[in-house]
Amino acid sequence: MKETLVFTDGASRGNPGSSGWGAVIAHDGQVVELGGGIPEGTNNQMELTAVIEALEWLQGKEVATVSIYSDSTYTISGATGWVFSWDKRGWQTKDGDPIKNKELWQRYYELQKTLEFEVNFHKVKGHASIPANERADDVATSFADGEIPDLKNVSQADYGVSLNPTAQYLEKSPVYFSFVGGEARMHATWPECQKWVAGKQAQYRKVRTVVERDELLREWGVDLAAVKK
C-alpha cells in the first residue's frame, strides 16, 4: 500500500480574524482537497484544524502510513510532543495556566489514539515552492477571505498540481532580480546586479524558489516573459 500524503495550511486575516484552513490529501490514487473557515480565529487554530480534519477524513480508510507536510512549528511540536505533557498536567502549562486552543488539542489527542495507521510529520518552509502546500494555502486563504474555492476530488493523474514534497528551487539558485524604470532584469550573481542598480532608483532582491520569483514579479507587475536576462 502506498504512502498517503497530506499537505496542510492555515490562514487568518488579522490573527485573530476571519480564518480558513486547507488540506490536500493524496490517497489510493485520488487527490481530495478539504477546507473550511470561521469568522474569528487564529493562524495556529487553522493550521491545527487542517491536520485534524485531514486525519478524520482518512480514519476508517485503508491507510498504512500518512506523511503530513506543514509549515507550522506550533502544530508539529504540539502533535508530536507537547500534547502528551498537556494531557498529563490536566491541559495546563508548566506554570499552571490553561493551554491555548485546549478544545482543538483535546480533539487531536483523542483522535490520534484511535488511528490505525502511522502518522509522520514533516516541517516545510512556507511559500517555498512545494506545489501542494501552496495549493493548501490557496484554499485556506480563500476561506479566510470569505470565498468558496473549487475543491478538487480527482484522480492523481488528473490533478494539475505536483505532489512532490520537495521545494522547487530555480535551476540556478540563487538569482537576483532588479527593477529599474519599469524594467525587470534577472542577474546570475550579486556583483552583476549590484553593478546594474548602482546610482539608480531601483528595487532588487535575491530569489531562490519558483514561488519567490513569481510573487516578486506579481508585486512588480511584470510578466516572466518580459524579464530581461
Tens-digit pLDDT profile for residues 67-105? 999 999 999 999 999 999 999 999 999 999 999 999 999
pLDDT in tens, 118-136: 999 999 987 777 889 999 9
Q: What would the DSSP string read from start to end of 17-58?
A: EEEEEEEEEEETTEEEEEEEEEEEE-HHHHHHHHHHHHHHHH
Residue 90 CA to residue 181 CA, distance in Å, equals: 61
* Contact yes or no for 2/48 (Cβ under 8 A): no
pLDDT in tens, 196-221: 999 999 999 999 888 788 889 999 99
Evaluate if pTM is beyond 0.85: no
Would you name the residues annotated as active-site residues? 9-10, 47, 71, 127, 137
